[in-house]
Amino acid sequence: MAKASSSSFYRFKPLNLGRIVVWSAFALVLLVAPLVFRSSLSHTLLSQMGIAIIVCLSYNILFGQGGMLGFGHAVYSGLGAFLAMHTLNWASAGNMPFPVSLVPLAGGLAGLLFAALLGWITTKKSGTTFAMITLGMGELVWAMSLMFPEFFGGEGGISGNRVLGAKPLGISFGPQIQLYYLIAIYTFVCTALMFAFTRTPLGRMLNAVRDNPERVEFVGYDTQMVRYLAFVIAGFFAGISGGLAALNFEIVTSEVVSAYRSGAYLLFTFLGGATFFFGPIIGAILMVLATVLLSEFTQAWLLYLGLVFLFMVMYAPGGIASLVMMNLRVVSFGLFGKLRLPYLGLLLTGMLAFTGIAALIEMVYHLQLNAALNPVLNFMGVMLDTHGVLSWLSVGAVAVVGAALFAIACRRFAQVWSGIQGVIEAEIQRREAAP
Amino acid sequence: MEFFTISLLNGVSYGLLLFMLSSGLTLIFSMMGVLNFAHASFYMLGAYLAYSVSEWLGFWPALVLAPLLVGLLGAGFEKFCLRRVHKFGHVPELLITFGLSYILHELVQLVWGRSAVNYQIPPALHGPLFTLYGTQFPAYRGFMMLVAVLMLVAIWGLLTRTRIGLVIQAALTHPEMAESLGHNVPRVFMLVFGGGAALAGLAGVIGGNAFVTEPGMAATVGSVIFVVVVVGGMGSLAGAFLASLLIGCVQTFAVAIDSSLMGAAGALGWQVTPETFGYALWKLKISQVAPILPYLFLVLILIFRPKGLLGTREG
Amino acid sequence: MSSITSAVPALELKDLRKSFGRTEIIRGANMRVQAGERVAIIGPNGAGKSTLFNLISGRFAPSGGEVLLGGVRIDGKKPYEINRLGLSRSFQITNIFPKLSVFENLRCGVLWSLGYRYSFFKFLSKLDDANRRAEELLAMIRLDRKRDVLATHLTYAEQRALEIGITIAGGAAVVLLDEPTAGMSKAETTRFIQLIREVTVGKTLLTVEHDMGVVFGLADRIAVVVYGEVIAFDTPDAVRANPRVQEAYLGSPVADAQGGAH
């Protein structure tokens, strides 16, 4: 019996080079990004991305790792923001020297405490019931935020000033770039901690609970306790994110605990990909880009978002991360060449269809919201008259033709793709069978 | 006394409206295991469609057409979208209805604008139904209650007395068996989802003009009906009925009561001042607390009776 | 071999009852299993065998009666409490962690018994005892070559083996196996029974089985469950000869198995 065992657990484990490279690259990107993107808009975006990364990763502890779909995560990031702001103001009033750089930790503590308080009842149930409970809890806190203006600041919220106290090394956190680096440090540390969590007993049992909650009970673990502890940990990191947001915007309003925000966390974490650790990072970046940039381009951005989300749920439930990984797998088997042409077809027909459909949507929006001013819409350089039949017909034609061509391209792509998958499966079988 | 009676009647009519919505939600959940996040959006759509149809054809045609249109939309969604994610499990089903709610919210604003629309009660139903102690009870509220009750009786009758109802009940617990007996189970699901959507649309038709018709109406009522369903017990129609009436009445009463703990203390001779500890809580009027009462119920039920009032499922 | 002593029985059922609504499924089951015994539970379909397992392991709470594990009452306790006291079970429908690898599946089964609780401060890769135990189990159930394969990609028989592996991972003294060979071919069954024999050395084993060859080959004693009662609990030969059992369940195939002896 001892034969096979001895060779397997005295495995020679050299330093995991791949992992070191990835984390170093991550740190490098965080460090260098504001130097590459120099405008103040970029710095604002980057700061918000860092904050979003932390909160989306914390949401994924529950959603992707624990299988708990919740609609109330903004409660914990929001309460963290409020408490952090109060801490900041309290320190500003000269009560006690409290370094600004530690204010987000106050937010984290708030997130932790509230999650500990509300978490036990919330995790009493699982699945769809859990989803509804989180929705109700979120509404409860949001409604309460209007009831206690002393803590929540009423309509105007609570504001503060992050430039206070001693300025060690001349760092006041006034300029955005300084705050960005503070956020970057928190982002790196929190990401590392949350990744480490996935490699602990609790993290693994959380996955087991997601896969088979009943079986977990029969190996000695209390399923609810596992969920509860994960809930509290997720609340902690959400609170840190909220604290950083409080510093970044220097104002916190009750919107931070709203159902809208919780929904955004869910939407973008799913879009980024809940089944891989780095998926929410992609989702967080998209979240910031969409809410800040896309909303400037078009009034229809929420509609586009909803449609993209719908398609993702139907055709790519693993999110963008899973799409990336699936393609990487194809590359690793050396079969990507076959996909070049189908992808090109998808891209071209997709762009055509999208142009037509987007133009239609924009024209309708324009008609509804702006037509009083000027019936002509400037769509990507083309002048479209929302009152003219010709414009409508031509746009409609583009949309219809584009959609039809896209459907054909999709079918062709699916054929090639499943063919490749078959080859890959066969190869895997072959490799497993060989000793 | 008149306050009590009128408030009770108002509360019951609101509760019945809540039940119209939560019953559709419960039916869809029981039949298909899908929690329809877009249910309140169907409610909103029903109200808006009724507004447009009644501008064009009048209220009474709208009462029939609007729910029909919403039902068709629901059935179409089930056939083309929901069915595709059925094999992925319950979480993707919930997510796709969540996505639908986003899209419907945007589409409604696109077509009808971002502010409230003037969806009116039909002139035939204006005025009081009866006057009690000098306070009027609106005829329209009575009409709402009538429609709600009729609808529920019809549903009950359909499920228990007709062949299609029996098939639905069979497909509920044993879809494969029902299918192997020759029943078209996917079509049954489409019917159930469309039917639930139509019910929500009907609720919108009669509720939209009693309350306000605006893009935010889905969100306000949406979370309340989820609370109703959990408080009543997942999958229990009777529980949803009880919880709807309870929450409807409690909220209606609370909104009208302006007293606070501070006032009560004052009546007992204690003076509560801004310096008193917890002043923020003392000075809260019950009417201010009214919006969170359903959620407080939720918390209490989860602590003391997690199965729900009349729940049978282990959620 | 079993030792019929008057020591505290490893598992005891006292007048165990369970009703679902108004239907009484288990109607007063009595049984005393000694430590180290191998017991096979047989009976017609619908007799309540799986329900008995569910009652013992805590999946359902009994409507009446007692279940004692080593003299300690466990009826009404939660499944994880019962598991921590030293009772483990497998399922008729394979119940593993589909998105984890085979190795991870086994390791999950081991964690609590080694005292790791809800720790989020230690790294799994550094838990030498847990990793070693998981490797041992891997070898025991002969899935070494599938160590890192996702459990959902295993063949049916391999998944059943993994199921057994998770069941014994925590080192429970009393093991319940619910139709472990269900759906297997003759050859697979024979191999599997050998595996069960190996991995349950020194443990008390209760297994629900339909395959008579397996039952008579594996069991020290057989319990016959009919309509929610244990109508016989004796050595295989005694059970074979028991007229009540013959009438209720075994019928003519027993006469055939006995050859021309009667």
User: In this predicted complex, what is the ipTM?
Assistant: 0.86
Output the tens digit of pLDDT for each of chain C's 262 residues.
Answer: 445 556 788 899 998 998 888 888 888 889 999 999 999 998 887 778 888 899 999 988 899 899 999 889 998 899 999 999 999 999 888 889 998 999 999 999 999 988 888 888 889 888 889 999 999 999 988 888 888 888 988 888 889 999 999 999 988 999 999 988 888 888 888 888 888 888 888 899 999 988 888 888 788 899 988 888 888 888 888 888 888 887 776 554 544 444 444 4
Fill in the DSSP letter of residue B135. Answer: E
Question: Which tokens belong to C248?
Answer: 């209720």
Residues C112, A220: C-beta atoms closer than 8 Å: yes
Please name the residue ranges forming H helices in A123-222: 127-147, 149-152, 176-197, 201-211, 213-217
In a domain, A8, yes or no: no
Does A10 fall in a domain?
Answer: no
pLDDT at A9: 38
Task: Give dist(CA C68, CA C56) in Å, integer.
Answer: 9
Q: Rounded to an integer, what distance in angstroms lies between the CA atom of residue A137 and that of residue B223?
A: 10
Q: Which residues of C touch A232 (CB under 8 A)?
A: none
Domain range for B79: 2-218
- Is the same domain home to A371 and A227? no
- My answer on whether A338 and A429 are in the same domain is yes
Q: Give the pLDDT score at A7.
A: 34
- Which residue pairs from C179-187 have beta carbons closer than 8 angstroms and sit at least 24 positions apart in sequence? C179/C50, C179/C92, C179/C208, C179/C209, C179/C210, C180/C90, C180/C207, C180/C209, C181/C209, C181/C211, C181/C214, C182/C92, C182/C210, C183/C156, C184/C156, C184/C157, C184/C160
Q: How many domains does chain B have?
A: 1
Q: Are residues A243 and A197 in the same domain?
A: yes
Percentage of the residues of chain B whose pLDDT score is greater than 70: 87
Q: Does one domain contain both A238 and A296?
A: yes
Which of the 8 DSSP states describes residue A73? T
Q: Is B247 on the interface with A (CB under 8 A)?
A: no
pLDDT of residue A2: 39
Q: How far is C221 from chain A (nearest CA, A)?
A: 26
**Residue closest to A190 by CA, chosen among A275, A108, A255, A112:** A108
Cβ-Cβ contacts under 8 Å, C100 against chain A: 204, 207-208, 211
Query: Would you say residue B283 has pLDDT above 80?
Result: no
Tell if the CB–CB gap between C104 and A204 is shorter than 8 Å: yes
Structure tokens at C197: 């024999």
Per-residue pLDDT for B174 more than 70? no
CB contact under 8 A, B91 and A314: no
Q: Do domains C9-85+205-253 and C87-171 have the same CATH topology?
A: yes
Portion 314-353 of A in contact with B at CB < 8 A: 314, 317
Q: Angle B2-32/B163-173 helices, nearest 10 degrees?
A: 70
- CATH number of the domain to which A67 belongs: 1.10.3470
Minimal Cβ distance to A314: which of B85, B94, B110: B85
Total number of domains in chain A: 2
Q: Which of A299, A325, A351 is the last residue of a domain?
A: A325
Q: What value does the mean pLDDT take over residues B55-76?
A: 90
Q: What number is the average pLDDT over the span B273-284?
A: 69
Question: Is any Cβ of chain B less than 8 angstroms from the Cβ of A358?
Answer: no
Q: What gap in Å lies between CA A257 and CA A253, rounded to an integer?
A: 9
Neighbours of C259 (CB within 10 A): 7
Task: Tell me, yes or no, whether A11 lies in a domain.
Answer: no
A52 and A30 part of one domain? yes
Do A79 and A242 meet the contact criterion of CB atoms below 8 Å apart? yes
CA distances from A89 to A158, A162, A255, B249 (A): 9, 9, 20, 42
Q: Which residues of A fall within a CB distance of 8 Å from C158?
A: none
B119 touches B54 (CB < 8 A): yes
| Residue B138 phi, psi (nearest 5) | -60, 140
Ramachandran category for residue C234: left, alpha or beta (phi over 0 → left; psi -120 to 50 → alpha): beta
Nearest residue, CB atoms, A211 vs list C84, C97, C127: C97
Q: Determine the residue of chain A that is closest to B274 in CA distance.
A: A150
pLDDT band at residue B261 under the 50/70/90 scheme: low
Q: Of C5, C29, C4, C41, which is closest to residue C175 (Cα–Cα)?
A: C41
Collapsed DSSP state (helix, strand, coil) of residue A354: helix
CA distance A12 to C237: 55
From CA A320, how far away is CA A268, in angstroms rounded? 10
What kind of fold does domain C87-171 have according to CATH? Answer: Rossmann fold (3.40.50)
Show residues of chain A in contact with C154, CB under 8 Å.
none
Max alpha carbon distance in chain C (Å)? 68
Token pair, residue B114, equals 């971002």
Give residue A423's domain range. 334-433
The reply to whether A314 and A345 lie within a common domain is no
For residue B55, the model assigns a pLDDT of 86
Across the interface, whether the CB atoms of B299 and A140 are under 8 A apart is answered yes
For C7, other C-beta atoms within 10 Å of its C-beta total 11
Binned at pLDDT 50, 70 and 90, residue B123 comes out as confident
Length of chain B in terms of residues written: 315
B298: which chain A residues are within 8 Å (Cβ-Cβ)?
A: 133, 136-137, 140
A239 and A221 in a single domain? The answer is yes
Interchain contact, B106 vs A144, CB within 8 Å: no
CB contact under 8 A, C122 and A201: yes
Instruction: Show the tokens assigned to C123.
Output: 């790294």
For residue B152, the number of C-alpha atoms closer than 13 Å in the C-beta half-sphere is 18
Chain A nearest-CA distance from B96, in A, is: 6
- The verdict on residue B148 lying in a domain is yes
A3 found inside a domain? no
Q: Could you report the average pLDDT of every consecutive run of 10 residues in chain A (435 residues)? A: 38 64 91 88 93 97 94 95 92 78 93 94 87 89 85 85 72 84 94 95 94 91 95 97 94 90 95 94 95 87 91 91 91 84 88 87 79 72 77 86 89 89 85 68
Measure A76 CA to nearest chain B CA, in Å: 17
Does B238 contact A at CB distance below 8 Å? no
Which residues of chain A make contact with C57, given a CB cutoff of 8 A?
218
Is A200 within 8 Å of C120 (Cβ atoms)? Answer: yes
Q: Average pLDDT, whole number, for chain B?
A: 82
**C-alpha distance from residue C104 to each of A189, C99, C113, C166 (Å):** 27, 10, 15, 10
Taken in order C228, C230, C232, C233, the sign of the CA dihedral is: positive
pLDDT at B31: 75
Q: How many CA atoms, within 13 angstroms, populate the side-chain half-sphere of residue A377?
A: 28
Encoded tokens for C247: 């009438």
State the pTM of this model. Answer: 0.89
Indicate if A317 and A344 belong to the same structural domain.
no
Taking CA atoms, B23 is separated from B74, B197, B225, C96, in Å, by: 16, 11, 9, 36
pLDDT score, position A275:
92
For residues A300 and A419, state if they share a domain.
no
Q: Which residues of chain B have a CB within 8 Å of the CB of A257?
A: none
Instruction: Tell me, yes or no, if A203 comes closer than 8 A to chain C by beta carbon.
Output: yes
Query: Nearest CA to C4 among C237, C173, C235?
Result: C235
Which of the other chains make 3 or more beta carbon contacts under 8 angstroms with chain C?
Answer: A
Q: What is the rounded CA–CA span in Å between residue A279 and residue C40?
A: 49
Q: Helix or strand or coil: residue C51?
A: helix
- Determine whether the interchain pair A147/B234 forms a contact, defined as Cβ–Cβ distance below 8 Å: no
pLDDT at residue B278, as a whole number: 67
Whether chains A and B touch (3+ CB pairs under 8 A) is answered by yes
Residues of C whose CB is below 8 A from A196: 123
Domain boundaries of chain C, sorted by first residue: 9-85+205-253, 87-171
Contact A126, A68 (CB under 8 A): yes
* Burial class (CB within 10 angstroms; exposed 0-12, middle 13-18, buried 19+) of C198: exposed
Of the residues C77, C113, C120, the best mutation for testing chain A's interface (the one with the most A CB atoms within 10 Å of its CB) is C120
Query: CA B26 to CA A272: how far, in whole Å?
Result: 32
Which residues of A fall within a CB distance of 8 Å from C102? none
Instruction: Assign domain C9-85+205-253 to a CATH class.
Output: alpha beta
How many residues are listed for chain C in this entry?
A: 262
Q: Which chain A residues have a beta carbon less than 8 Å from that of B296?
A: 140
Q: Which chains touch A (3 or more CB pairs under 8 A)?
A: B, C
Residue C143 CA to residue C137 CA, distance in Å, equals 9
* Cα(A172)–Cα(A181) distance, integer angstroms: 12
Q: C128-140 and C102-111 helices cross at what angle (nearest 10)?
A: 120
Cα distances (angstroms) measured from residue A147 to each of A87, B190, B283: 21, 43, 10
Chain A residues 227-246 with a CB less than 8 Å from chain C: 229, 233
